[in-house]
Amino acid sequence: MSKILLFNKPFQVLTQFTSDDDKATLAAYIDKPGFYAAGRLDYDSEGLLILTDNGQLQHQLANPKFKLEKTYWAQVEGAITDEALKQLSEGVTLKDGLTRPAQAKRMDEPDVWDRVPRIRERKNIPTSWVELKITEGKNRQVRRMTAAVGFPTLRLIRYSIGPYTLDQLQPGQCLETEVQFVLDESRPETNRKRRHPHQKQPRRITPSKHGRKRKAP
């Protein structure tokens, strides 16, 4: 078994434990030696980040060739059109190439936490929400995709990675669990461990008011 942490990364937090400037890092929320982020999530994006203490699992979770589906919720400027959704679904040409076909659809505004600071909205220009499911990880891909079809992203939340989701996690919270890891060069298998009815619940770790970590009962 390998251990993973499911972490809801807040806005304007680096996906690393050290920084050369004053930007916030994972160290402000996670005190688990030996765990490292499997993949990246931009400083100005929010949502699910997976950390693990297994180097091979870290590689498989982060490597785009394993095509682990990621779901993003993007709040965009303007009322997204059917044509834009079609373009996103078929693939968008970016400077570094054509994106793989994605699953794109309109969605209602999700019931999530307020972002601090709030997005900058322009008067007389509506915003809308789009759900995007992609299987690759180009740099700032979702933002570039929505901008390419005429609807710049104002807020971006990663909701899921493979079978793992943000459910029950508020910003700054993380959940420790275990996975059965099988090294497979063609396809990753990282299934959540099934819990026996009498097994203890996974530990949820939340930051205290003073930035130190405390384990929830």
Can you give the pLDDT at residue 142? 97
- Tell me which of 42, 82, 96, 167 is the catalytic residue: 42
Tell me the C-alpha to C-alpha distance, in Å, between residue 37 and each of 101, 145, 204, 209: 26, 24, 18, 24
Percent of the chain at pLDDT above 90? 63
More confident residue, 194 or 24: 24
Over residues 207-211, mean pLDDT: 41
Residue 180 in this model has a pLDDT that exceeds 80: no
Tell me the C-alpha to C-alpha distance, in Å, between residue 154 and each of 48, 103, 117, 121: 18, 20, 12, 9
Beta strands in the chain (DSSP E): 2-9, 36-37, 46-52, 70-77, 93-94, 97-98, 103-107, 127-134, 153-161, 164-165, 174-182, 189-192, 204-207, 213-215
Question: Which residues on adjacent β-strands are paired with residue 176?
Answer: 5
Can you give the pLDDT at residue 200? 41
Can you give the pLDDT at residue 183? 53
Which of 53-62, 77-86, 121-130 bottoms out in mean pLDDT, i.e. has the lowest? 53-62
pTM: 0.82
Can you give the pLDDT at residue 75? 98
Q: Which two tokens stand for residue 76?
A: 């965009």
Q: Are 85 and 124 in contact (CB under 8 A)?
A: no
Q: Are 90 and 101 in contact (CB under 8 A)?
A: yes
Identify which of 80, 77, 85 has the alpha carbon closest to the alpha carbon of residue 101.
Answer: 85
> Using 50, 70 and 90 to split pLDDT, how confident is the model at 181?
low
Give catalytic status of residue 31 as yes or no. no
Residue 187 in this model has a pLDDT that exceeds 60: no
Can you give the pLDDT at residue 168? 87
DSSP state of 26: G
Identify which of 71, 28, 33 has the alpha carbon closest to the alpha carbon of residue 161.
Answer: 71
Residue 201 in this model has a pLDDT that exceeds 50: no
Peptide bond into 117 cis (omega under 30): yes
Q: Are 154 and 120 in contact (CB under 8 A)?
A: yes
Q: Which two tokens stand for residue 108?
A: 């209602």
